[in-house]
Amino acid sequence: AVWVSEIMLQQTQVATVIDYYNRWMQKWPTLQALAQASLEEVNELWAGLGYYSRGKRLQEAARKVVSELAGRMPRTAEDLQKLLPGVGRYTAGAIASISYGQATGVVDGNVIRVLCRLRCIGADSSSPAVIDRLWDMANVLVDRSRPGDFNQALMELGATVCVPKAPLCGECPVKQHCQAWRRKLFGNPPKVPDVEDCGVGDCPLCPPATEPWDSSLGVTNFPRKAAKKPPRAMRTATCVLERRGCHGALEYLIVQRPSSGLLAGLWEFPSLPLAQDLQEEREREELADHLQAWMGRPVAAKGLRFIGEVIHIFSHIHQTYVVYSLPLDGDVTLDPALSPSRWVTEDEFHASAVSTAMKKV
Ligand code: SF4
């Protein structure tokens, strides 16, 4: 349960996760049950939660524990990280400390913020030197008798008190240890070099000389991050092919994506990535050619009805779907040599392993 919740909570908010978590634990309450699930079932349950490789890796790891480790979960952070796909340093530390009582620290986004403020660490908080130092600190600080509670308390402190924009320093239970707070109240913290002189040497933890302490920011001078790269812009043409099924209900064609890469193994309306800056007419022609391969007969570009554009932000991609529809008369024989495809009603579509972006489409 701790493992599943930790994986689901990566990059995803608690409120979103709760329903998925409950359904998952009800469906696969044990490692053995999860090991027997199919990837399609996992993708269906995960649909809408994003970062789909997480579900796939959870299931692969469950299979590995059952088939290669005699059904016994690794119990230390080192082994968890080494042996289980999808379990990184943070998740391994969280499972080992919360589930198995190992006195090992964790560093997540909340812990980074708290520790950088506690020690006035002003270098880029994603740099290897800072990250290594934060792990060392977390491993030293962790309570030896209640490591799981300590780690959760530290993360909770970051989530509720030492929050990014307006931290509640006056109510903070560790304020007497906090150098950023002292710096804000009294100027320089004692026994450390003047932060304004920092960055002159080679200290990999201090703020760079070009970005000294800004007193208007107070404790929120820390942590500091390198500027994020803007997401890559992509355009994809997608077509909702519809037909009347044998019971008269409308049906839509969905096709399966490749088993690796973005949205691996999920289902979508037939789609085609487009070069940037194509004229609309050209986009239509390219989509018509692409659909022709699916349908085994010519598709007139003029017959495609433009519906609108849908924007969806993936973590690193700003995706614009250019949406068309095409009602079909008569049956279409799908080529079995192409990717798997099927006709679904609207209800079946929503129960399938489709991404949030496709639901928007
Ligand atoms: Fe964070 Fe303020 Fe507490 Fe320091 S005193 S740890 S900055 S909330």
Categorize the per-residue pLDDT at 11 as very low, low, confident or very high, splitting at 50, 70 and 90: confident
List the structure tokens of 179: 């150098």
For tokens 């003029």, the residue is: 302
Query: Structural domains in the chain?
Result: 1-102 (1.10.340.30), 232-351 (3.90.79.10)
State the pLDDT at residue 196: 53
Angle of helix 39-46 relative to helix 53-68, nearest 10 degrees, comes to 140
State the pLDDT at residue 193: 55
Sign of CA dihedral 293, 295, 296, 299: negative
Q: What does the pLDDT look like over 192-238, one tens digit per residue?
A: 555 555 545 667 888 877 778 888 899 999 998 877 788 899 999 99
Q: Please identify, by atom number, the ligand 1 atom nearest to the C-alpha of residue 167.
A: 8
State the pLDDT at residue 221: 92
Q: Which of 41-45, 302-306, 315-319 has the lowest mean pLDDT?
A: 315-319
CA of 297 relative to ligand 1 center, distance in Å: 66
State the pLDDT at residue 359: 94
State the pLDDT at residue 192: 54
CA of 133 relative to ligand 1 center, distance in Å: 19
Q: What does the pLDDT look like over 13-34, one tens digit per residue?
A: 999 999 999 999 999 999 999 9
- Whether cis (ω within 30° of 0) applies to the bond prior to 231 is no
Q: What does the pLDDT look like over 259-298, one tens digit per residue?
A: 888 888 899 999 999 998 888 889 999 999 998 877 778 8
Q: Which of 117-121, 140-144, 331-335 has the lowest mean pLDDT?
A: 331-335
Q: Which of 123-132, 148-157, 162-171 has the lowest mean pLDDT?
A: 123-132
State the pLDDT at residue 358: 94
- Which residue has its alpha carbon closest to ligand 1 atom 4? 178
Q: Please identify, by atom number, the ligand 1 atom nearest to the C-alpha of residue 117.
A: 7
Q: Is the pLDDT of residue 353 over 80?
A: yes
106 Cβ below 6 A of ligand 1: no
Q: Is the pLDDT of residue 60 over 80?
A: yes
CA of 46 relative to ligand 1 center, distance in Å: 36
159 Cβ below 6 A of ligand 1: no
CA of 233 relative to ligand 1 center, distance in Å: 38
> In the predicted model, what is the mean pLDDT of the chain?
91
Element (H, E) at 318: strand 317-327
The phi and psi torsions of 256 (rounded to 5 degrees) equal: -95, 140
Q: pTM of the full predicted structure?
A: 0.79
Percent helix, strand and coil across the chain, each rounded to 5? 45, 15, 40
167 Cβ below 6 A of ligand 1: yes
Supply the residues annotated as catalytic: 6
Burial class of residue 233, CB neighbours in 10 A (0-12, 13-18, 19+):
exposed
When pLDDT is averaged across residues 52-71 and rounded to a whole number, the result is 95
CA of 257 relative to ligand 1 center, distance in Å: 46
- Which residue has its alpha carbon closest to ligand 1 atom 1? 162
Q: Which residues pair with 252 in a beta bridge?
A: 242, 344
Q: How far is CA 209 from CA 17, 28, 145, 204, 290, in A?
A: 41, 53, 41, 12, 55
181 Cβ below 6 A of ligand 1: yes
Question: CA dihedral defined by 301, 302, 305, 310, rounded to 10 degrees?
Answer: 50
State the pLDDT at residue 213: 81
CA of 117 relative to ligand 1 center, distance in Å: 6
35 Cβ below 6 A of ligand 1: no
DSSP 38: -
180 Cβ below 6 A of ligand 1: yes
Q: Please identify, by atom number, the ligand 1 atom nearest to the C-alpha of residue 161.
A: 8
Q: Is the pLDDT of residue 327 over 70?
A: yes
163 Cβ below 6 A of ligand 1: no
162 Cβ below 6 A of ligand 1: yes
Q: Which of 75-79, 141-145, 314-318 has the lowest mean pLDDT?
A: 314-318
State the pLDDT at residue 76: 98
